[in-house]
Structure 1
Amino acid sequence: MSMTAASMATKPQVNKIPNGIETTVNGNEISLQFYTPSTIRVVKHPAGVSAEEKSLAVTATPQDVTTTVRTSGNSAEIKSDRLRARLDLRDGSISFFDTKGKTIVKEDRGPVFTPIQDAGKPSTMAKQSFRLDKEEAIYGLGNLENGKLSQRNVSRLLQPGNVEDGIPMIVSVKGYGIYWDNYSPTHFIDNENGTSFESQVGKSVDYYLMSGDNADGVIAEMRHLTGQVPMFPLWTYGFWQSRERYKSQQEITEVVKRHRELGVPLDGIIQDWQYWGNNYLWNAMEFLNPEFNNPQKMMDAIHSDNAHIIISIWSSFGPQTIPYRELDAKGLLFNFTTWPESGIAEQWPPRKDYPSGVRAYNPYKPEARDIYWKNLRRLYDLGMDGWWMDSTEPDFFNGTEEDMNAPTGMGSFRKVRGAYPLMTVGGVYDHQRATSDKQRVFILTRSGFAGQQRYGCNVWTGDTQSTWDMLRKSVPAMLNFTMTGNPNTNSDIGGFFAGGYNKSYMDNSAVKNPLFQELYIRWLQMGTFNPMMRSHGTDIKREIYYFGKKGEPVYDAIENAIRLRYTLLPYIYSTSWQVTNEASSFMRPLMMDFPADKNGWNRGDQFMFGDALLVAPILEAHYTTEKVSKADENTGWNRSEKDDSEKTTAVDFTKQTPADVYLPSGTEWIDFWTGERHRGGKSIQKKSDINTIPLYVRSGSIIPLGPDVQYATEKPWDDLEIRIYPGADGKFSLYEDEFDNYNYEKGMYSTITFSWDDSKHILTISDRKGEYPGMLNDRRFRIKVIDPAGQAKDVSYSGKSTIVKL
């Protein structure tokens, strides 16, 4: 075509829509629409194809955003007071800029739609490419056990799984994020040719570009789009003990009783599977195992010992159960192969000639979610405190084309597979909230997706191996999961499959094996700074009393980690309010707080816990070797009698060894244990024994420390120690409410703000704001400045502003 002919070609007509524009370029309809001044939705689809579908993750509707539209030459621009987007009218690509004209990110080219057949119907695969800066670090993509923090040069099929949950969202160190709103398996690729998302089923390219100035701002935009995080009860932040599995109600109640006798704090206990009996009764949602012959007595015993219990429930049902029959009668069960494959629970490999008949249910249909909750009421009415929702991927073995084509009511299973955990977890949350608001919903679940943070759930990293390598991979995996807007995450402390440390199958010798002792303690110390601190696994009993007794290094290290967790509960609970009220995050990669320090961009071995604490867990063996036989979620159940464990000798765990710690630039850091000060922007060697985790406090921080307790609510917070770490001005708000129920949503809570003026050495305690039933009207604060002078002062406080000179 000549230049004359080209100039005479008809330019695409750009039309205004509410908060946006739409046009057609190269046969693709394109719309750009602001949802907030900082978030713009992009939708592209072939002209004439109806592609508008209700989002499962996004719950927000567009705000009334003031926009300006300008068309010039071969481009159309739309901008708010925070963000500008330019659409190339020649190829349909879009570039995004800040208000000063600086490029945020650009699409590499227009969309690509590849024709496919989905469940026998014509559809397309949808792909969009982007061009990132060469050294730009990106985070997110869910829980990927690839050991990477920055997810550059990654190729991954994003979908839910046992030990990985792929979520199509990235956050850049530059302060923007992209959420790709598609639920089919999606291939993410980042290499020298560009960065792209390609979904197996997608009638449209549909994504949200969020500009937040920093990572916190991006996550705030994501939470606005997909839902805010409800408050968890205070007790959920205490210590949790679990096992695969407690085999009787006497066994589980005895664990709680032993903790109380030993004086080792405990708040949560978990009953794993098979309380229902055999595999044909899989997930019956009632106690049919004769070893649990009086479940109400069990519940009452646990509660009388001031502990809480949650119980394992699954996304599948055995053929002899009531829920199976109800769901099957209405066509609400899938036919694909899931766990367990055999009806005989005691044999491995599975006896497939005795198939279990277990089938996963279809949570995409409201009626199925209703039936699920109706049957769950049997456990709820016993006084169960929460739910351990296992296999919420769900387990999906040998998936065939027919399995992926299964109808869900929202299209094929292939089309919506990624949203399975979102739908099934959301079903339980919504039904319990509708039933009562006297107790906050708490769900522990194995899989997560975008938006799931709104459903009161903590997502764990799945059935991981008990190896140092997996411990190291767990930290960046949880940090990247956090970056998808899901702040609540944890892992099986000690790893799940630990049989390689035993002398023979299930002899529990590993608790005396220094190889496992060292790994378990370091995992426990790292878990002290997770949103949930939960010891769990198979092959080895993890309860503290199996490791020895008080006064012995291993026992003491375990107890001290648990006690540290309880000391920090006022800080943790106040941080949880920041997560709920300010869209903050618990576990924070260093780039969130120190984006200018490139040395921290890919430090997957350290993280901030809240605003104040720098956690540098020891993730390598210092006293033993790391060699152990490995297992995974597929091979770990292969039980055999063997003696292939490492031969070990006595280990002196009291010997100090150096650990490398990087202190980010831009602030000073104070050793939590010694008070020693360090300037940031350098690496140091911290000498530690088995009892110590390297832990540093940012200067200008204020940290409240709680009382010595056996469970989270044992004592009121009427005598808190308030630690001030000088070197900069600081502020902290102590949050308090009734510690459970949803009255906080009605404004029934209080905050007390502490402000530190570093130059004047003055602490101002503000007027208390708000009130709630049972609130402390009068209390004492023990103020302590962490510096060589060791200044301290006791202050009586009755809710009125108080100035303390130190």
Structure 2
Amino acid sequence: MRNRKKLLNLLALLIFAACAEPPYQQTEDGVVITLYQRHKTDAQRIRLRVLGDELIHVSATPEDEFSGDSSLIVIPGLRTVPYTIADTGDSIALSTARLDVSVSKSDGGITFKDKAGRVILAEKQGGGKSFTPIEVEGTMGYSIRQLFDSPDDEAFYGLGQHQADEFNYKGKSEELFQYNTKVSVPFVVSNKNYGLLWDSYSLSRFGDSREYKQLNQVFTLYDKGGQPGGLTGTYESQALDWPRMVRREDSLHFENIKTVRNLPENFPLKGADVTYEGTIEAPHDGTYQFNLYYAGYVKVYLNDELVVPQRWRTSWNPNSYKFTSELGAGKKVPLRIEWKPDGGRSYFGLRVQTPQEADELDKQVWWSEMNKKMDYYFIYGDSMDEIIKGYRTLTGKSPIMPKWAMGFWQSRERYKTQDEILSTLQEFRDRKIPIDNIVLDWNHWPEDAWGSHEFDESRFPDPKAMVDSIHAMHGKMMISVWPKFYASTEHYREFDREGWMYRQAVKDSIRDWVGPGYVGSFYDAYSPGARKLFWNQIHEHYYPLGIDAWWMDASEPNILDCTDMDYRKALSGPTALGSSTEYFNTYALMNAEAIYNGQRSVAPDKRVFLLTRSGFAGLQRYSTATWSGDIATRWEDMKAQISAGLNFAMSGIPYWTMDIGGFCVEDRYVNAQLEYDKNGKENADLREWRELNTRWYQFGAFTPLFRAHGQFPYREPWHIAPEGHPAYQSILYYTHLRYRLMPYLYTLAGQTYFDDYTIMRPLVMDFQHDREVENLSDQFMFGPALMVCPVYEYQAQNREVYFPKGTNWYDFYTGRYIQGGQQLRVDAPYDRIPLYIREGAIIPVGPDIQYSDEKPAETIVLYVYRGQDGSFTLYEDEGANYNYEKGGYSTISFSYDDTRGILTIGERAGGFDGMLEDRKFVIVPVSKERPQAFEDEPQGKKVGYNGTAQTIPL
């Protein structure tokens, strides 16, 4: 019987082998491999597409055929390069000039190797793929999961911009969705010389595919009396008619507008004191991951240790913070949480995740909720810059921003009248504070007409004259345009007639926070017709005024704050492409396309500038920058912006900014400012507020876009502190410095297009072989020359700075020479940020100007920092149009030979209308033997230049 069974099995295999398709089929741009499918949810087909010598597109499906949907993030028309396909027996091998890729015939597992045979990246043995069927709104798809091996010394960067102050994502997890202050980009750069772009638009997770759980789903909970079943919750209020309440809590889940109702009924949250205490008992030994969700003030003690020092967020815009703890099985550990809600409605939650399985711990794991198939792109490069170049090859070049965008922007929530915005800009000019852009925020329209794109005549009587006046003061104006429309507006009806509005919010009569509350919703940016209409409405109402730039707020889309995920999806769908479950994360990308393509269609030679609160892979191709949303005014929030900005830069999108000073302000700062306005006295809270803003401006001057914005207290320098105050003086110093560095800055902007450069650079980009910088998130390079070390602790007068090895360094302010490869505690006085220049740097410095195009840089100071060979190529163009795309630009190269002590100024290449034919360079050498501080008017060797090459001995 047994032998007969063996024969039948063998016969079945022979029949299958005779009837089966060939194991692989070469295609026009790659190969498709057919696998034996043991289960219907196993991968049946694997496809490799060659998009470059170092770019491979991987697709997998359990179906007979691949779905025909096109990518939203990868640009069409990428051409393949020569490659070969070979059957090596147990695998199919694809080779390009730089890569060897093998696919196992047995399980579809893929391994990427360099030409020396070294493994760069490998899927987990067995392929690491899983497909779980999911049906949404009648459409079938799969929840997909991919697991890759990862060596112990690997590091991951990117994933967009998040607020938990995490930098290297090795061993960490991040949930990828869009929300105010959270921008998710499914792209990572590894220190192992590759990047991976995960092509999914749905809710996704990196590092751990599991969802966080409620405390009682993981732990045995005990109240403070030792009884099992829950923690002890104590609720106390300042309200006289509210008695102290004590009750047991089996979970801490008050995180959205539904679950917040689980708090005691009618409990007055403003000014309340809430304590949760007891013990937790873990089921297993290991590292448990906690996710704290909070609004108001919160502290967390675990095992009698303060694991979360006091944090704060405004009541309507909670934040998440992650921490971990080693817990032992069966051991009771004390837990105490002190929560002070800070508003009429505050949110709170604490969730947890059990230790990850050993074969997944510290690996690269991707999961997405709904896809038709699995798609990812492997990008190889010898440096992180090469990897980001490959990413932009796939997703699109980053156009050069208008030159004015590199200057200072002033914004406020909000300028309420035409006179306020004009008088503010005039005050900048009167005080000789450089500025290029002033911003008109939301609610400039009549109160009941959001989405009308009309101005409230009582407050803005002549919008065209307002914009003209801004231009007459040599300023630019950006305006806030939301994808939101009140149902009473004609613009809403124009969309709705075509089925281009998300209707759930109107159906549910959701009212916003304005006046009595008005009903409206967002348009469907996934519809090409809707995108054209959105631009046409802007073009008809705003564009004729001469407005220079567009601020796309709430582009997550944020139709309603603090909702659960299911309701968020209901509010933002269905989309023209499919369910909002499948297209959850890409709204901002579609919305940006509407404006970019719209403006270029009517004004093809005027540079587009967009600022958006959300983003996704490919955003850079639409000349779009992102800011970090409505962050809080706390020192920990300032620090978190450093790692947030660095990871966003590593996500391949070069232009990022933040609300300098934070957006949402603690009451103590508001009250301190109001008290000062009455009596002119600086109390302790105002003193801290001024120092916080000073440190934030110092940091902000060295981000790609330099922008102040926030709620009251106002962020104009004279509102922060009076003239003569060290805060005021420091803000002015760094604003002037920003403009003096304009030749350097604008060159970096040019490099983002021509060289796919990254302006704000984690140290690991330039010092990848220095292991000390892999987790260093509070220092960064600003271009190739400047190392920036922000100060983010109150009353700090010094800080630790690591000086990467492989180069030596100069102090910006003194010229003092510092040996690389060491950590030092350096001075950081109130008015100065620690700033260093790497050996071999050449920095061009222009004149002191009040706005970016006030005058050409007829004289440029060239600081040359000796000790290594160095180079820099100055880039210039007309600053406002797209002639650079047709060759309308010039470059001047500078190279320094340290051994000979000679600087060579190269022959000018190219040209453009209005280019300076003749100019002067003042050359200032800095060396260990002859230190030289950065000065406004340094002494140096003056050289005339008419475009011909010359050499200058130093």
TM-score, normalised with respect to structure 2: 0.78
The one of 531, 549, 552 aligned to 1:389: 552
Aligned to 1:351: none
Counterpart-to-counterpart distance in 2, 1:468 and 1:36: 44
Shift of 1:360: 0.5
Kindly provide the amino acid, as one letter, of the partner of residue 645 in structure 2: M
The one of 125, 129, 134 aligned to 1:116: 134
Counterpart-to-counterpart distance in 1, 2:859 and 2:666: 45
Aligned positions of 1:640-789 closer than 5 A: 657-787=797-927, 788-789=929-930
* Residues 1:405 and 1:695: Cα distance change in structure 2 (over 3 Å): closer
Structure 2 residue 947 is the aligned partner of structure 1 residue 803:
no
Between 502-511 and 217-226, the greater mean CA deviation after superposition = 502-511
Aligned positions of 1:612-631 closer than 5 A: 612-622=785-795
**Paired residues, what number?**
765
Aligned to 2:122: 106
Aligned positions of 1:439-588 closer than 5 A: 439-502=606-669, 504=671, 507=674, 509=676, 512=682, 513-588=686-761
* Residues 1:391 and 1:503: Cα distance change in structure 2 (over 3 Å): closer
Residue deviations 1:596-635, cap 9 Å, x none? 1111011110111111111111122225xxxxxxxxxxxx
Structure 2 residue 523 is the aligned partner of structure 1 residue 361:
yes
* Residues 1:720 and 1:340: Cα distance change in structure 2 (over 3 Å): farther
Shift of 1:545: 1.2
Report if aligned partners of 1:465, 1:497 keep a CA contact under 8 Å in 2: yes
Report if aligned partners of 1:32, 1:43 keep a CA contact under 8 Å in 2: yes
Structure 2 residue 400 is the aligned partner of structure 1 residue 231:
yes
Residue deviations 1:239-284, cap 9 Å, x none? 1111000010100001110011111111110000110021x31132
Report if aligned partners of 1:336, 1:396 keep a CA contact under 8 Å in 2: no
Structure 2 residue 137 is the aligned partner of structure 1 residue 137:
no
Aligned to 1:309: 477
Counterpart-to-counterpart distance in 1, 2:735 and 2:201: 39
Shift of 1:50: 4.2
Counterpart-to-counterpart distance in 2, 1:249 and 1:124: 52
* Residues 1:323 and 1:331: Cα distance change in structure 2 (over 3 Å): same
Shift of 1:448: 0.7
Report if aligned partners of 1:174, 1:214 keep a CA contact under 8 Å in 2: no
Instruction: Classify the secondary structure of the residue corresponding to 2:545.
Output: coil
Aligned to 1:630: none
Kindly provide the amino acid, as one letter, of the partner of residue 471 in structure 2: H
Report if aligned partners of 1:228, 1:454 keep a CA contact under 8 Å in 2: yes
Residue deviations 1:540-593, cap 9 Å, x none? 111111233333211101111111111111100001111110001011111111
Counterpart-to-counterpart distance in 2, 1:485 and 1:709: 31
Between 452-461 and 503-512, the greater mean CA deviation after superposition = 503-512
Aligned to 2:501: 333
* Residues 1:100 and 1:508: Cα distance change in structure 2 (over 3 Å): farther
* Residues 1:201 and 1:49: Cα distance change in structure 2 (over 3 Å): farther
Report if aligned partners of 2:887, 2:910 keep a CA contact under 8 Å in 1: yes
Report if aligned partners of 1:499, 1:505 keep a CA contact under 8 Å in 2: no
Report if aligned partners of 1:579, 1:586 keep a CA contact under 8 Å in 2: yes
Aligned positions of 1:103-182 closer than 5 A: 103-108=119-124, 109-110=126-127, 111-182=129-200
Shift of 1:405: 8.5
Instruction: Classify the secondary structure of the residue corresponding to 2:674.
Output: coil
Counterpart-to-counterpart distance in 2, 1:340 and 1:745: 48
Counterpart-to-counterpart distance in 1, 2:457 and 2:827: 50
Higher gyration radius (CA): 2
The percent identity for this pair of structures is 37
Counterpart-to-counterpart distance in 2, 1:546 and 1:775: 39
Structure 2 residue 438 is the aligned partner of structure 1 residue 269:
yes
Aligned to 1:371: 533
Counterpart-to-counterpart distance in 2, 1:485 and 1:382: 33
Instruction: Classify the secondary structure of the residue corresponding to 1:418.
Output: coil
Shift of 1:335: 2.4
The one of 13, 17, 39 aligned to 2:23: 13
Shift of 1:508: 7.7
Between 607-616 and 8-17, the greater mean CA deviation after superposition = 8-17
Kindly provide the amino acid, as one letter, of the partner of residue 720 in structure 2: F
* Residues 1:289 and 1:83: Cα distance change in structure 2 (over 3 Å): farther
Shift of 1:130: 0.8
What is the root-mean-square deviation of aligned Cα atoms in Å? 2.1
* Residues 1:437 and 1:720: Cα distance change in structure 2 (over 3 Å): same
The one of 444, 447, 450 aligned to 1:282: 450
Report if aligned partners of 1:148, 1:602 keep a CA contact under 8 Å in 2: no
Counterpart-to-counterpart distance in 1, 2:675 and 2:484: 31
Instruction: Classify the secondary structure of the residue corresponding to 1:720.
Output: strand
Aligned to 1:590: 763
Aligned to 2:326: none
Report if aligned partners of 2:844, 2:860 keep a CA contact under 8 Å in 1: yes
Shift of 1:687: 0.9
Shift of 1:165: 1.1
Report if aligned partners of 2:502, 2:571 keep a CA contact under 8 Å in 1: no
Shift of 1:301: 1.2
Residue deviations 1:333-372, cap 9 Å, x none? 00244999535624xxxxxxx5521101001111111111
Residue deviations 1:459-514, cap 9 Å, x none? 00110011111111111111111111101101100000113333539838599501
* Residues 1:481 and 1:220: Cα distance change in structure 2 (over 3 Å): same
Counterpart-to-counterpart distance in 2, 1:145 and 1:337: 28
Kindly provide the amino acid, as one letter, of the partner of residue 118 in structure 1: V
Aligned to 1:69: 85
Instruction: Classify the secondary structure of the residue corresponding to 1:692.
Output: coil
Between 284-293 and 438-447, the greater mean CA deviation after superposition = 284-293
Structure 2 residue 909 is the aligned partner of structure 1 residue 793:
no
Between 449-458 and 507-516, the greater mean CA deviation after superposition = 507-516
Counterpart-to-counterpart distance in 2, 1:65 and 1:82: 11
Counterpart-to-counterpart distance in 1, 2:513 and 2:582: 34
Give unpaired runs (5+ residues) of structure 1. Answer: 347-353, 624-656
* Residues 1:598 and 1:7: Cα distance change in structure 2 (over 3 Å): farther
Structure 2 residue 369 is the aligned partner of structure 1 residue 200:
yes
Counterpart-to-counterpart distance in 2, 1:387 and 1:341: 27
Counterpart-to-counterpart distance in 2, 1:303 and 1:795: 36
Report if aligned partners of 1:607, 1:614 keep a CA contact under 8 Å in 2: yes
Between 124-133 and 150-159, the greater mean CA deviation after superposition = 150-159
Aligned to 2:308: none
Aligned positions of 1:230-249 closer than 5 A: 230-249=399-418
Kindly provide the amino acid, as one letter, of the partner of residue 255 in structure 1: T
Kindly provide the amino acid, as one letter, of the partner of residue 770 in structure 2: D
Counterpart-to-counterpart distance in 2, 1:589 and 1:580: 19
Counterpart-to-counterpart distance in 2, 1:340 and 1:254: 39
Shift of 1:95: 0.8
Report if aligned partners of 1:160, 1:166 keep a CA contact under 8 Å in 2: yes
Counterpart-to-counterpart distance in 1, 2:466 and 2:889: 33
The one of 594, 601, 609 aligned to 2:774: 601
TM-score, normalised with respect to structure 1: 0.92
* Residues 1:587 and 1:344: Cα distance change in structure 2 (over 3 Å): closer
Report if aligned partners of 1:418, 1:449 keep a CA contact under 8 Å in 2: yes
Structure 2 residue 69 is the aligned partner of structure 1 residue 53:
yes
Residue deviations 1:19-46, cap 9 Å, x none? 3111111331111111000010100011
Instruction: Classify the secondary structure of the residue corresponding to 1:364.
Output: coil
Instruction: Classify the secondary structure of the residue corresponding to 2:382.
Output: coil
Aligned to 1:640: none
Counterpart-to-counterpart distance in 2, 1:739 and 1:344: 40
Shift of 1:125: 1.1
Kindly provide the amino acid, as one letter, of the partner of residue 593 in structure 2: G
